[in-house]
Chain A
Amino acid sequence: MSDATDKLVGIVLVSHSAAVAASVAELATGLAGGGTTAPVAPAGGTADGGLGTSAELISAAAASVDRGAGVAVLTDLGSAVLTVKALLAEGDELPDRTRLVDAPFVEGAVAAVVTASAGADLAAVEAAAAEAYAYRKE
């Protein structure tokens, strides 16, 4: 378990908007509660502050949360998804064991950060985030 807390899975939140990515990171970290929380980095908007996706911001965010246990990347839509997939295809742009997690952005981020903060491995973080799709609101 000590190994698990030393090496938490990192979470990267990629949105078209810097404000959305930062807010969801704040929300997810806040809901993860006290104690150690997993490293979370937002990568929102373009490098010059506009709406869109920046490969540079994503790579930097992923490097900043990598503790050797893998990195789970959650995205919103369109270019955010495609850019992460393209970076993964490059092979050397993102840390080893980086995964694009297929999950709803906000709910998935909360599930991922809570699970990662509990010391879960990358597969468990991915499963928890993906499970958020099954949560119906009606």
Chain B
Amino acid sequence: MLDADFFRRWMTATAASVDREAERLTDLDSPIGDADHGSNMQRGFIAVVATLEKEAPDTPGAVLMLAGRQLISTVGGASGPLYGTLLRRTGKELGDAAEVDEAQFTDALRTGVDAVMTLGGAAPGDKTMIDALVPAVDALEDSFTAARAAAEEGALATTPLQARKGRASYLGERSIGHQDPGATSSALLIAALAETAGESDE
């Protein structure tokens, strides 16, 4: 079972990973975006960790809803409302249960990913975070480790795609050949999830 502490550690692990990879995310965002994805995500997750420490929400749903709210407030770019919606809708779906099992979490995360697709109007193949998140949720039905691999594969598979959403879409064919920064940060989020689940197993 996954409790509030598990979700807090997931957010902390994501913050650490985003912090480590901020420069790479910004480098990826430089040729096809506005070169701020790393610093935006870093700012957002620093705020998430600070708020979770201060307010100490005590259910999985409350942790994710608070984290999502912080991302919407502090990121400053499109990744704020998109990741914010992902976490908030997932958290809302979990309700006020003190613990959730992996199947419940998988269903809730799928609801969150659907909400991101609705908000941004993106579908798989558009070269966005969805290309990492959809395969991750599908694989999460098997295991956290499978989800991590699927998200990483999904992010890598955005390289040959032409962007159809966001600022990168203005570049048309010139967006081909670059890995999508949003799919890359989504892979970090899922990798942090697997890392957190791995720690729990020990």
Docked Cα-Cα span, A53 to B80, in Å, equals 9
Would you call A46 an interface residue if the criterion is a C-beta within 8 Å of the partner chain's C-beta atoms?
Answer: yes
Q: Are A55 and B72 in contact (CB under 8 A)?
A: yes
Q: Give every chain A residue within 8 A of B34 (Cβ-Cβ).
A: 51
Would you call A27 an interface residue if the criterion is a C-beta within 8 Å of the partner chain's C-beta atoms?
Answer: no
Q: Are A52 and B76 in contact (CB under 8 A)?
A: yes
Would you call A5 an interface residue if the criterion is a C-beta within 8 Å of the partner chain's C-beta atoms?
Answer: no
The contact of B76 among A54, A86, A87, by CB within 8 Å, is: A54
Would you call A85 an interface residue if the criterion is a C-beta within 8 Å of the partner chain's C-beta atoms?
Answer: yes
Q: Are A89 and B85 in contact (CB under 8 A)?
A: yes
Which A residue sits closest to B74, measured CB to CB?
Answer: A55
Docked Cα-Cα span, A53 to B44, in Å, equals 13
**Least distance between A19 CB and chain B CB atoms (Å):** 16
Docked Cα-Cα span, A52 to B78, in Å, equals 9
Q: How large is the interface on A (under 10, 10 to 19, 20 to 34, 35 or more residues)?
A: 10 to 19
The contact of B119 among A51, A52, A85, by CB within 8 Å, is: A85
Q: Give every chain B residue within 8 A of A78 (Cβ-Cβ).
A: 77-78, 166-167
Q: Give every chain B residue within 8 A of A54 (Cβ-Cβ).
A: 76
Q: Which residues of B93-144 have CB atoms within 8 Å of chain A's CB atoms?
A: 119-120
Q: Are B77 and A86 in contact (CB under 8 A)?
A: no
Q: Give every chain A residue within 8 A of B82 (Cβ-Cβ).
A: 82
Q: Give every chain A residue within 8 A of B69 (Cβ-Cβ).
A: 90
**Least distance between B184 CB and chain A CB atoms (Å):** 18
**Least distance between B67 CB and chain A CB atoms (Å):** 14
A55-B73, A56-B73, A89-B85 are known contacts. Are A83 and B167 too (CB-CB below 8 A)?
Answer: no
Would you call A64 an interface residue if the criterion is a C-beta within 8 Å of the partner chain's C-beta atoms?
Answer: no
Which of B77, B81, B119 has the most C-beta atoms of chain A within 10 angstroms of its own C-beta?
B81
Docked Cα-Cα span, A55 to B84, in Å, equals 12
Q: Give every chain A residue within 8 A of B120 (Cβ-Cβ).
A: 82
Which A residue sits closest to B77, measured CB to CB?
Answer: A79
Would you call A50 an interface residue if the criterion is a C-beta within 8 Å of the partner chain's C-beta atoms?
Answer: yes
Q: Mark A75-102, 1 if CB is under 8 A from B, else 0.
A: 0001100110111011000000000000
Which A residue sits closest to B73, measured CB to CB?
Answer: A55
Q: Are B78 and A86 in contact (CB under 8 A)?
A: no
A78-B166, A86-B84, A86-B85 are known contacts. Are A53 and B77 too (CB-CB below 8 A)?
Answer: yes
Q: Give every chain B residue within 8 A of A79 (Cβ-Cβ).
A: 76-81
Q: Give every chain A residue within 8 A of B77 (Cβ-Cβ).
A: 52-53, 78-79
Q: Give every chain A residue within 8 A of B88 (Cβ-Cβ).
A: 90
Q: Are A86 and B119 in contact (CB under 8 A)?
A: yes
**Least distance between B97 CB and chain A CB atoms (Å):** 21
**Least distance between B138 CB and chain A CB atoms (Å):** 25
Which B residue sits closest to A79, measured CB to CB?
Answer: B78
Docked Cα-Cα span, A79 to B37, in Å, equals 12
**Least distance between B130 CB and chain A CB atoms (Å):** 14
Question: Top 3 nearest A-B pairs by Cβ distance?
Answer: A52-B76, A86-B81, A79-B78
18 contacts between A and B (CB under 8 A): A50-B76, A52-B40, A53-B77, A54-B76, A55-B80, A56-B73, A78-B78, A79-B76, A79-B81, A82-B78, A82-B81, A82-B119, A86-B81, A86-B85, A86-B119, A89-B119, A90-B72, A90-B88
